[in-house]
Structure 1
Amino acid sequence: MQLMWRQTPGPSSAEELPIHRIGKVCPMGRLDLVLLAQNGQKLLELTAGTTTVRDLWVQTLEEICLTDQEEQSEADAKGLKEKLEKQQEKQKEQYWKDRTEELEKRRLDAEERKKKIGLIGMKYTAQAMARR
């Protein structure tokens, strides 16, 4: 979306300003309004014929800019949400990979201990049970 204007005393060619560049619309004095960028830089200074016209322009431009910024924010939020979901999915996959490796390592360690004890362990277990 573009804001187009033409200087009245001057060339008849129209100039344009993308709406998304407008950060704030400020009324100045009785008839003036200033369009500021998001970083505070002055983009455009306008003079209205009456205070009522100036106030109407300020209100309308603020509504348009707010709508544009909300759409931009929604798009950013959607992109961020998708990125977070992907990151959570990667973390979940990494967790299960690590968990599976840990369980496999524990199983192998248990088998090693069983091999060391072997049949000898059963002998002592049988003796302990017989004493009861």
Structure 2
Amino acid sequence: MITLPKRSRANVDANINIVPYIDVMLVLLVIFMMTTPIIEQGIEVDLALMDDVDVMELTHIAPVIISMDKHGVLYIGASKIPATPEQVVAEIKVEMELNSNLKLKVLIRPDKGVKLEKYVELLKFIQKNTDIESVGMIGR
């Protein structure tokens, strides 16, 4: 009968090679470090909350209310006359000059059919052309 020679097993090292895991971890760290500043960039919005009502009453300044219909047409205050973004900025600047020692609030009341892009464009335009610190949104 033919007998096969027995193979002697060499001592196998059963340790896990962690170098590839460290490489993957460093790549993920770099990705997170690069995407975090991109995520943090945006428009600062101060939403009108119940606590903000007390602040408005103490300052005795009526906020500038800008309405936006479903087509993106702007209206200042209770006016039924359409306004351009430049007119909105001019109104905000006039109110800021009249009330220079108090903080002015701007509240935007968009229609529910307004696309988010139009709302964001208005916020960027106001932020770029004025020194306003507080822009809020009126919702239901």
Structure-1-length-normalised TM-score: 0.31
Which structure: greater helix fraction? Answer: 1
So what's the TM-score if we normalise by structure 2?
Answer: 0.30
Higher strand share: 1
Q: Which has the larger radius of gyration?
A: 1
- Greater length-normalized contact order (CA 8 Å, ≥ 6 residues apart): 2
